[in-house]
Structure 1
Amino acid sequence: MMYKKNSHLIWLLGPALIVMVVFLYYPFVMNIINSLYDVNGLGASREIFIGFENYRKLAADKEMFTSVKNTGIMMVCTVVFQVGIGLALAVCVDAVRRGKEFFKTVFFFPIVISATAIGLLFNLFYAYYGGMFNQILTALNKAPINWKSDSLALLMIILPIVWSYAGFYFVLIFTGISNIPSDIFESALLDGAVGWKKFRYITFPLLKGVIGTCVTLAVTGSLKVFDLAWVIAPRGAPKGSTHFMGTYMYETTFIEENIDYGASIALIIVIIGVVVSQIANRLFRDKEMKNGNSR
């Protein structure tokens, strides 16, 4: 009876829609408008219309190019290592007979730690004097390394990000494996599908939908990298060499107070996120849709 009366659904959906409009869609539209005006300073009025001038500057901005390149590297690393490690851990834990809940808790634990706390923790690991990594090198009679040098800084930012989110994808994929009917595995076992064959012909094909979701989340998450990168990034590095799109947008908007230019960077981030996520969805869903249509 509730679904026959649309008025009840409107009362339920109305508040959520209002919140979405006020805190998501309205700021997004205002952000687009700000990118078309000269706005110097937070709260400054929009007086001079400059059109697409900011976007022309972005096309020639070397720091923007560097931030896009770093974000692209981060995107590849999150898909390959975060989702890849999560898949490997899920398959291994699924094969364990006892202690599955223990492993689920241990592997998921990093995701509940504040990103700022993780950044400070890894800064202690990277410290030149007394840092854990250099202590290990010293114990092996090796010379200490400046882990946050220009050549290693990007890798040192990517490492904790991959470590902190691999457990999140592990839980998603492990849940997907747990939802596969046991009858399928039992039938496969009778046919001799064990080990690698079991994973290749049974587990992985039935997990394509879950893995596609994980890839989409990893891709969009890499575009929003900010807090960990901002805490770990060495301040002595050449300007922009360790920037991601999120950190470059923040520095431009809130430190330099170049609001209109920061708004244009934010819009580019949204566009890239939508395009890349749609590509990832098509890669993992086209085959399933074709199989469904053929049936």
Structure 2
Amino acid sequence: MNNQPNIYKNKKPVFFFLFPAFLFLALYLFYPFFKNIINSFQIIKDLGAPAKGWNDPIYKNYAKLFTDKNMAIAMKNTLIMIVVTLLGQVGIALILSLMVDNIKRGAKFFRIVYFFPIVVSATALGLLFNLIFLYDKGMLNQFLGMFGVTELTDWKDSAHAMVTMMVPVMWQYVGFYFIILLTGLNNISDELYESASIDGATAWQRVRYISLPLLHNVICTCSVLAVTGALKVFDLPWTMLPNGMPMGETWLTGTYMYYWAFQGKDIDYSCTVAIVIVVLGILLSKVVNMIFKEKDY
């Protein structure tokens, strides 16, 4: 029988060490969030300026959301971005991780190559892709010209702007989910694959009946991160297509919130858009969790 005292019975040291973390969250997360809610009901026209009173009616900004055409565009584009993120980022990352996990040589090389885009800042990537998609002397148009396509394409016009914006966003974060999924695959015991091979299972059957089921919870986590991340996408789209170019057709909730805070000079409405982003993030993450439903194996 173990007669040593249980050091975990005294909870006071635990609260002592957790207090700084709770204080940090209270100051830099909870207080700004609740202050943001209050600001959405007030009149604030300049960043950092005091409120000039309450809106009349008090729900004025929330009513404006339903009549704001640009907000409707931002919501539509953000939902498209969520689908592109789930299929493009998580989907491609899953395929790449399965491929790298099944190769004998060069696995470390591919890990570095696929993860590299996440290391580069989004602003630098935005400038890079601006050079690629330039109408005149852009790399893409020059590449097409090598194959006899003489007519230049404006990749930032109304017909192509959304694709031009979403391709680099999708490309940037594939490596992030690739690493998470590859780590999940590495945690699956090799004995399961060996037993399946002895029983005559093909490579596809091993992926279908072993890898994918055991990756279920990891895929669920990646999906939640992808959905919430798509709602906050800002830096790369703003670098490439500021102010919803062209003609306000590429607004996202993140870029639209930034516009009203720093250019539109309507801080209270920017706070309202920010609250919409938070609410959507909570609701959509719940929906994703309900769809995937984490399992115990």
TM interval, short-chain normalised: over 0.9
Quick one: distance in 2 between partners of 1:77 and 1:15? Answer: 39
Taking the aligned partners of 2:125 and 2:152, their CA distance within structure 1 comes to 22
| Residue of structure 2 in register with 1:66 after alignment | 73
Distance 1:89 1:82 in 2: 10
Q: 1:115 aligns with which of 107, 118, 122?
A: 122
Cα distance in 1 for partners of 2:251, 2:7 equals: 51
Give a deviation string over 1:79-129, Cα, whole Å, max 9, x none. 001001100001111110112111111110110000000000000001122
Residues in 1 aligned to 2:33 and 2:247: alpha-carbon distance in whole angstroms: 28
8 Å contact from structure 2 (residues 161, 246) kept in 1: no
**Residues 78-227 of structure 1: matches in 2 within 5 Å?**
78-142=85-149, 143-227=151-235
Runs of 4 or more consecutive aligned structure 1 residues displaced over 4 Å after TM superposition: none
Report how many residues are paired: 289
Whole-angstrom CA distance in 2 between matches of 1:129 and 1:238: 17
SS of 1:230's equivalent?
Answer: helix
Where 1:42 maps in the other structure, the secondary structure is: coil
Contact 2:244/2:251 (8 A) holds in 1 = no
Kindly provide the CA deviation profile for residues 248-271 of structure 1, in whole angstroms up to 9, marking residues without a partner as x: 000011111101111110000000
Q: Within 1, Cα distance between the matches of 2:115 and 2:293? A: 27
Amino acid at match of 2:251: H
How far is 1:216 from its partner? 0.5
- In structure 1, the residue matched to 2:3 is none
Residue 277 (structure 2) aligns with: 269
For 2:26, the equivalent position in structure 1 comes to: 21
> In 2, Cα distance between the equivalents of 1:193 and 1:59?
55
Distance 1:30 1:80 in 2: 36
Q: CA offset at residue 235 of structure 1?
A: 6.0
CA contact (8 A) 1:70 1:244 kept: yes
Query: Is the 2:85–2:170 contact (alpha carbons within 8 Å) kept by the matching residues of 1?
Result: yes
1:35 and 2:35 correspond: no
How do residues 217-256 of structure 1 correspond to structure 2 at under 5 angstroms?
217-233=225-241, 237-256=245-264
Q: In the aligned structure 2, how far is the partner of 1:148 from the partner of 1:101?
A: 37
CA RMSD of aligned residues (A): 1.5
CA 1:217–1:235: 2 relative to 1, 3 Å: closer
Instruction: Work out the percentage of aligned pairs sharing the same amino acid.
Output: 45
Does the 8 A contact of 1:35 with 1:54 survive in 2? yes
- Alpha-carbon distance in 2 for matches of 1:167, 1:27: 32
Partner SS, residue 192 of structure 1: coil
Which one is further off, 41-50 or 220-229? Answer: 41-50
Displacement of 1:17: 0.7
| Structure ranking higher in helix proportion | 1
Question: Residue type of the partner of 1:204?
Answer: L
Code of the aligned partner of 2:283:
V
Q: What's the counterpart of residue 4 of structure 1?
A: 9
* TM-score, scaled to structure 2: 0.94
**Unaligned 5+ runs, structure 2:** 1-5
User: How much has 1:234 moved relative to structure 2?
Assistant: 5.8
TM-score between both structures, scaled by the size of structure 1: 0.94
- Equivalent AA in structure 2 for residue 261 of structure 1: Y
Question: Residues of 2 paired with 1:237 and 1:271: CA distance?
Answer: 26
**Residue aligned with 2:97, SS:** helix
- Tell me the equivalent position of 1:57: 64
Contact 1:153 1:234 in 2 (8 A): no
1:198-253 Cα distance to aligned partner (Å, 9 max, x none): 11111101100000001001001000100000001166934421110000000011
